[in-house]
Amino acid sequence: MGVQRQIARAASLLHALAVVCALCWALSARFVQGQSQTGQLTVDASLQNARKIPDKMFGIFFEEINHAGAGGLWAELVSNRGFEAGGPNTPSNIDPWLIIGDESSIIVGTDRTSCFAHNPIALRMEVLCDSKRTNACPSGGVGVYNPGYWGMNIEKGKVYKVSMHIRSSDAVSLTVSLTSSDGRQKLAAHTITGSKKSFAKWTKIEFSLKSRQNNTNSRLQFTTSKSGVIWLDQVSVMPLDTYMGHGFRKDLSLMLANLKPQFLKFPGGNYAMGNHLRNAFRWSETVGPWEERPGHFNDAWGYWTDDGLGFFEFLQLAEDLGASPVWVVNDGASLNEEVSTATIASLVKDVVDGIEFARGGPKTPWGSVRAAMGHPEPFKLDYVSIGNQECWMLYYRGNYQKFYSAIKAAYPEVNIISSCDRSTISPSNPADLYDVRVYTSSSNMFSRTSMFDNTPRSAPKAIVSEYAVTGNDAGKGTLVAALAEAAFLIGLERNSDVVEMASCAPLFVNDNDRRWSPDAIVFNSWQHYGCPNYWMLHFFKDSSGAALHPTTIQISDYDQLVASAITLQNATDRSPYLRIKVIAIVQFPCFNNQKSSKYEIKEKQEWARTLAIEILLQVVNFGNRAVDLNISVVGLANGIKMSGSKQTVLTSSNPLDENSFEQPEKVAPVSSPLANAKPQMGLSLRPYSLTSFDLLLEASKHASI
């Protein structure tokens, strides 16, 4: 996330203004109740005037914020599995691990006796009680437990792989259990036994636990009634049922897959930088066996990560989603420090090594590390973003040129993204793409549908890598925020000759650790839901690579409509469609948009060869007036079938409505058949709505796009 997010975050905390804003919404709706508008939307569906949207136009941006990865997308259930979160000095804090028993029966601490050089901390349990002595252990024994990330979701019949390292010079009888949060309900258990010699040296143990019950607030516990000293380290519990078998939480991964993202930008913005360089994301320390990864403190967002979700896993996730990876590299800058250009060479080499890890052959030094992790084939890493909007910092431009030259020398086909704006790009300061961030109010976001209208049409193109509505009416994810973002994306579609890629931010939030609002997907250990802006993205998931058609809207005294039209082919049955998107939002006293009597969208005619496969028309009504819209589709090479078309609407009774665990689809798309679809037709748009009209076409005689 960019530095400007921290500024925007302060504005979002002004709850009192949000209340006033909500009142304005209500007064505005009452003021125009019963009013409606009549407008004309014309779509030029001719092939010669269509233009292809870039193949990777819409993707996703993942940042380790809000426990999005640790305790979220990455399915590891144990928090602080290596006991490193408390720091290198021992004894240290073992949070969130807790002790079963009191100091008369067990003493628990940490020491530096681990068998892993990069993670030297291990847990030491000295059991004082015994089952056969005067100092008898309490019923059930003593030990330690880990509640995971606000409770582990354990499901009946599911299998969980437990992996751990153990050492002891005493005989061992240690029970490993999945239990309820109070330890009373036993879901699954396995007992580790051994003589004095069995675990005299560090030993890795792996086994599976199959749960007998459901419990959404479970814990992992180790208990014994045998005196002695036991050391534990690198304790992991992973569900066997993960997305594509690669360790990603299945339900959350499917939420991403359903968006059909064309790229995945990772590992974050501020997370990649760190508040201090010692806590920046270091790719080379996040690859290889997970037990050997040291982990690091995510000081940008205030929590520890074991780095199970590392560089390799991000590349794997991109591949699993069918998305192109976009790697944000640390360019020698944190929020509080900066490496000078004179001493940047080692960091430049580190990034080039990282590209070799992703792209190199299995016999190259770093490609062999990737191959040893089970992926001998190279990943298709074609995009590298240099830094996180540090263009304003003293050494950024000098450092950027070092990175650019070294990467292009080794991998000339890799596209390099600059953190500087377009005005700084020149032959002496080249870039393939430049990064743009937009965090603003809903009214301003809506107005930015024309943000790139006057951008020079020469290279380089922009990647809008982070955008979001923030502030008073954003809440935890409101309808009006989603509609404003939809209008902005329609503007990006229209200007996709100068905008190559776009992704929203943030993507995920664990409801137990909100560091930022709003977010696209909300979850806890066992539930999830999409916010209105998540559902809004479904209206754009077919746009990448589609043919964009010119549209024009004419409506008197109402500038709150935007629309787009694309043609594509249905992925399921290959049927041709025209999709029309329409967004409608009103102007009212709380906000300061400029009005005009007519709103027009006109396309530059560039692309002469495209196929009208499926015409999809989408309209945003950003206002509280219903609109009777007369739609005219001209230039069709194929007719519209009388049946098979549909309309999909995203709206709600209040523009500030949000989704929740109790009402996960309060604001969600609703589809219905569109009867008697034809080139000229009259349709109604609800206030505060995003509407998509999917018009089924006769089969095309042309070749595919």
Report the C-alpha gap between 408 and 403 in whole angstroms: 8
Average pLDDT, the chain: 90
On the CB side of 427, how many CA atoms lie within 13 Å of its CA?
A: 0
pLDDT per position as a tens digit, 169-209: 999 999 999 999 999 999 999 999 999 999 999 999 999 99
| pLDDT score recorded for residue 10 | 39
What are the structure tokens assigned to 57, written together? 């136009």
The larger pLDDT score, comparing residue 386 to residue 14, is at 386
Taking CA 320 as the corner, what is the angle to CA 315 and CA 322, rounded to the nearest 5 degrees? 95
In 3D space, the residue among 545, 553, 491, 481 whose CA is nearest the CA of residue 517 turns out to be 481
| pLDDT score recorded for residue 585 | 61
Report the C-alpha gap between 299 and 314 in whole angstroms: 20
Indicate the angle between helix axes 396-410 and 345-359, nearest 10 degrees: 40
Is the pLDDT at 29 greater than 50? The verdict is no
In 3D space, the residue among 176, 342, 169, 317 whose CA is nearest the CA of residue 250 turns out to be 317
What are the structure tokens assigned to 319, written together? 């591949």
| pLDDT score recorded for residue 489 | 98
Q: E-assigned strands of 226-279?
A: 228-239, 263-266
Report the C-alpha gap between 580 and 54 in whole angstroms: 18
Is the pLDDT at 682 greater than 90? The verdict is yes
Look at the chain and count its residues: 705
| pLDDT score recorded for residue 24 | 41
- Mean predicted confidence (pLDDT) in 480-491: 97
How many CB atoms are closer than 10 A to CB 201?
A: 9
pLDDT per position as a tens digit, 275-292: 999 999 999 999 999 999
pLDDT per position as a tens digit, 639-659: 898 889 999 999 999 999 999
Minimum mean pLDDT among 148-152, 168-172, 636-640: which range?
A: 636-640
In 3D space, the residue among 443, 469, 478, 473 whose CA is nearest the CA of residue 623 turns out to be 443
Report the C-alpha gap between 568 and 549 in whole angstroms: 11
State which H helix or E strand residue 398 sits in: helix 396-410
In DSSP terms, which residues pair with 105 in a beta bridge?
A: none
Cβ–Cβ under 8 Å, residues 503 and 265: yes
Task: Please give the backbone phi and psi of residue 446, each rounded to the nearest 5 degrees, phi first.
Answer: -60, -40
Task: Enter the DSSP assignment of 45.
Answer: -
| pLDDT score recorded for residue 614 | 59
| pLDDT score recorded for residue 137 | 95
| pLDDT score recorded for residue 135 | 86
Distance of CA 24 to the CA centre of its chain: 32
| pLDDT score recorded for residue 237 | 98
Residue by residue, DSSP assigns 275-340 as SSGGGS--GGGGSS-GGG---EEETTTTEEE--SS-HHHHHHHHHHHT-EEEEEE--SB-SS-B--
| pLDDT score recorded for residue 559 | 85
pLDDT level of residue 587 (50, 70, 90 thresholds): very low
Residue 268 to residues 314, 336, 505, Cα–Cα distance (Å): 11, 17, 10
pLDDT level of residue 131 (50, 70, 90 thresholds): confident
For residues 121, 118, 197, 91, the Cα torsion angle rounded to the nearest 10 degrees is -10
Report the C-alpha gap between 359 and 411 in whole angstroms: 9
In 3D space, the residue among 569, 583, 560 whose CA is nearest the CA of residue 649 turns out to be 583
Q: Using CB atoms within 10 Å of the CB of residue 556, give its burial: 0 to 12 exposed, 13 to 18 middle, 19+ buried.
A: exposed
- Mean predicted confidence (pLDDT) in 619-644: 88
pLDDT level of residue 583 (50, 70, 90 thresholds): confident
